[in-house]
Amino acid sequence: MQVEALNAVVVGAGTMGTTLAKLMAAQGVSVILVDTNRHVLETSRLSMGESAAVGFASELTAGQHPDFVIESVTEDVAVKQQVIAQIEASVADSSIIMTNTSGIPIDEIAANMRLPQRFLGTHFFNPADIVPAVEVVPGSHTQASVVETACRWLKQLGKRPAILNTCVPGFVANRIQHAVMRECLALLERGVVEPEALDDIVQYSIGVRMALNGPLYQRDLNGLDTHLNIARYLYPDLDARDKPAALLEDYVAQGRLGAKAGRGFYRWSDESRAQHQAQERESLQRIIKIATQHAKENAS
């Protein structure tokens, strides 16, 4: 089902901006992708192919009347504030403006806005054209009607908007992800397990279950009394540092940045990275289909 005829602008033609524009175009939204870096813009155009009905522009022009604008530039407060100011100066006061930040507090980004009541966070997950969940994060000035309109549009795009009651750094997904990774890195530093074994354990136990049940739903199925008994003896031994693990600091200092650098916890080539990314897209679509069907069966 395609959405009603709407217009949107995406600012930032990196990986997230490109997949956001692709998602909207596939649903019949008239979308323009803006980036001041012409090389990035051309790379985005080539990656989408001729079939994607997306317009490309190297700058915002005054007097635009899009229904929605999504800022998807680098995770830097100052940069985002500057881009939001440019957006606000270019579009109609009726346009809803969103930021795709993955965790910067919404009020910090909106600090200099003229109309912060029409601004909110919509944290899409990579790849944005496939992963269903979107964290919807109002700021302290965001109007309820703006949140409602944004969520309605996201649902029309095939997304599952999840509204946060309070904006906290990192929102929900990144807080949970970093809590998990803090313990993973602590286990590696203590020599408890090797990276390959750790990935196997998480992927084929917690991972496969999480595709079907959220953590709270799963705890209900397991029994909260069981969880409490384990928590009482386990929590004192869990990692609780308030600074990143030394192992992570060392890897980054060595240039071991992950797949993009050819080495992280594993070794990567351009070919292995591209192959994995292509396979992951296909697998994610199958997993999401199964998870969605599972949820429907549980609800019936």
In order of start, what are the domains of the chain with their CATH numbers? 7-163 (3.40.50.720), 173-246 (1.10.1040.10)
From first to last of its 300 residues, what are the pLDDT tens digits of the chain? Answer: 455 668 999 999 999 999 999 999 999 899 999 999 999 999 999 988 765 689 999 999 888 899 999 999 999 999 999 999 999 999 999 999 999 999 999 999 999 999 999 999 999 999 999 999 999 999 999 999 999 999 999 999 999 999 999 999 999 999 999 999 999 999 999 999 999 999 999 999 999 999 999 999 999 999 999 999 999 999 999 999 999 999 999 999 999 999 999 999 999 999 999 999 999 999 999 999 999 998 888 887
Q: Which of 147, 135, 69 is nearest to 104 (CA)?
A: 135
Q: Are 165 and 137 in contact (CB under 8 A)?
A: no
Query: pLDDT at position 112, please?
Result: 96
Q: Which among 280, 285, 289 is positioned nearest to 259, based on CA atoms?
A: 280
- Contact 137/112 with Cβ under 8 angstroms? no
Decide: pTM greater than 0.85. yes
Q: Which of 162, 174, 159, 109 is nearest to 137 (CA)?
A: 162
> Which stretches does DSSP call E strand in the chain?
7-11, 30-34, 54-57, 68-71, 96-99, 119-124, 133-138, 160-163
CA-closest candidate to residue 186, choices 274, 31, 178: 178
pLDDT, residue 63, reads 82
Residue that is written with structure tokens 């199958």 in the block? 286
| Identity of the residue numbered 56 | F
- Tokens coding 285: 């679509």
Q: Show the beta-strand stretches assigned E in 170-286.
A: none
Pairing of strands 133-138, 119-124: antiparallel
